[in-house]
Structure 1
Amino acid sequence: MIRPHVLLSVAVSVDGYIDDRGAERFPLSNAEDFDHVDRLRAESDAILVGAETIRRDNPRLLVNDPGRRAARVAAGRPEYPLKVTVTRSGDLAPDLNFWHHGGEKRVYTTDSGFPVASVALAGLASVAALGPAVDFAALLDDLGALGIGRLMVEGGGHVHTAFLAAGLADEIRMAVAPMLIGQAAAPRFVRPAAFPGGPARRFHLDGVEVLGDVAVLRYFPKRSGAS
């Protein structure tokens, strides 16, 4: 079975934070970067965010450019990528924006979370159980069986950490914003974990693109950066 190509997409401050400690989402990106992310969404078969991100940010997670949506339809693809989320508890409110915009939705959860999510999201999303814990390799196997060839993962930190710790990320798109957040308790791109190869492992840097005042770095973590 062929698993999807997994692209992790994240915007960080120069000091490595993805948000501040405020109640509202802190704007790290600029208009050029948002448009680039929209293009990557349009090129993807599915977009994944964690349940924590859905609860905190209440995103719609759409392809916003109508020309890109039209191009998807003209190519015989759904207007919007499949929207995917992951939750251990299955506790997701049915009134969140995620369920009421865009196309099909799929929820991955645990055996214990399955009945909770199935009831709460009846008619809004398909729900699949991955066992006693969330198994991200099994998640990718299931998406591959559904015909998903390219998966864009937009966070949050727990989800990005899980993909990287399991060695399942093929590519990282990191937009670095020219600012410092400096709040010790603010969320970072990844949490502490035992990553493959440890700190001696250097990723392959494929390129750097300037989008206004944001630098976008493209890494391939499964390739070595050493010459």
Structure 2
Amino acid sequence: MTQHRPHTAVVLAMSADGKIADIRRSPARFGSGADKAHLEAQIAASDAVLFGAGTLRAYGTTLTVSHPTLLQHRIKAGKSPQPVHIVITQSADFNPEIKFFNQPIPRWLLTTTVGATIWQKRSEFFEQIFVFETSTGKIDTAAFLQHLASIDITRLAVLGGGQLVASMVHSDLIDEFWLTVCPLILGGTTAPTPVEGQGFLANLAPRLKLLEVKQVEQEVFLHYQVQRTLD
């Protein structure tokens, strides 16, 4: 599978108790400047970023590459200044007036046949709209990732939310996790976590290999690789 899709890395900040937002699902702005710089570097290293409609609704915007050195590296590598920002959504129901649609980035939409009808005649919002559906009408993320590989997108950053990450983990579509542990406790049974969905039994859970640990002031940056039988 890994040979036929981009390399995928989940990049998320979470509280010390493993929450990526509070019980109101407010935008998670508890990360430090170092965490934001780390996120920007991961975005800059990617050909595209993928995030769910819930994440877009919460923030109303996305993080662009603005650091001069990162921009220079992308240009020297023959890349566009900004990676493609891809929204994945079943319904494609979000506000066209959010700041995201005014940001100077290439925007793509991955959705269903029903979701695509909302935006197909509004080309000023998305440069490309993709429909990849399973027989049950769900988005076929694996097929879409294979398509990305066919158009030379080799590295994909996945920025949440938890439902998207869960579905990709269940389909064995994630290669790495970059997790920033921030010094606060959010709690709450309804507060979202990095990986939601139905969960895994302990004996069937995906296993990770710790590649790097770095502390910057009060935050801890963890880098994991998803282990597979051939790793």
Q: TM over 0.5, yes or no?
A: yes
Which of 165, 176, 179 is matched with 1:174 structurally? Answer: 179
Which of 119, 124, 129 is matched with 1:127 structurally? Answer: 129
Residue in structure 1 matched with residue 144 of structure 2 by the alignment: 139
Aligned-pair CA distance for 1:195: 4.5
Aligned-pair CA distance for 1:194: 5.0
| % same residue | 29
TM-score (norm 1): 0.90
Aligned-pair CA distance for 1:92: 2.8
Structure 1: gaps (5+ residues) = none
Residue in structure 1 matched with residue 27 of structure 2 by the alignment: 25
Aligned CA-pair RMSD: 2.2
Counterpart amino acid of residue 64 in structure 1: S
Alpha-carbon contact 2:25-2:192 (below 8 Å) kept = no
Alpha-carbon contact 2:90-2:139 (below 8 Å) kept = yes
Residue in structure 2 matched with residue 220 of structure 1 by the alignment: 225
Aligned-pair CA distance for 1:51: 0.8
Q: How does 1:32-71 map to 2 (within 5 A)?
A: 32-71=34-73
Deviation sequence 1:83-115 (CA, Å, 0-9, x none): 111010122332222222132111100122221
Which of 111, 122, 132 is matched with 1:109 structurally? Answer: 111
Residue in structure 1 matched with residue 18 of structure 2 by the alignment: 16
Deviation sequence 1:48-73 (CA, Å, 0-9, x none): 11111111211232112133113212
Question: For 1:61 and 1:195, how far apart are their aligned partners in 2?
Answer: 31
Matched residue SS, 1:112: helix
Counterpart amino acid of residue 10 in structure 2: L
Q: Residues 180 and 104 from structure 1, CA distance in 2 versus in 1: closer, same or farther, beyond 3 angstroms?
A: same
Decide which moves more: 105-114 or 65-74.
Answer: 65-74
Matched residue pairs, number?
Answer: 224
Residue in structure 2 matched with residue 154 of structure 1 by the alignment: 159
Alpha-carbon contact 1:82-1:103 (below 8 Å) kept = yes
Residue in structure 2 matched with residue 206 of structure 1 by the alignment: 211
Q: Residues 197 and 26 from structure 1, CA distance in 2 versus in 1: closer, same or farther, beyond 3 angstroms?
A: closer
Matched residue SS, 2:74: helix
Aligned-pair CA distance for 1:192: 3.5
1:86 aligns with 2:88: yes
Q: Residues 200 and 51 from structure 1, CA distance in 2 versus in 1: closer, same or farther, beyond 3 angstroms?
A: closer
Alpha-carbon contact 2:182-2:220 (below 8 Å) kept = yes
Deviation sequence 1:146-166 (CA, Å, 0-9, x none): 211100011111111111111
Q: Residues 72 and 7 from structure 1, CA distance in 2 versus in 1: closer, same or farther, beyond 3 angstroms?
A: same
Structure 2: gaps (5+ residues) = none
Q: Residues 23 and 128 from structure 1, CA distance in 2 versus in 1: closer, same or farther, beyond 3 angstroms?
A: closer
Matched residue SS, 1:206: strand
Matched residue SS, 1:39: helix
Matched residue SS, 2:54: helix
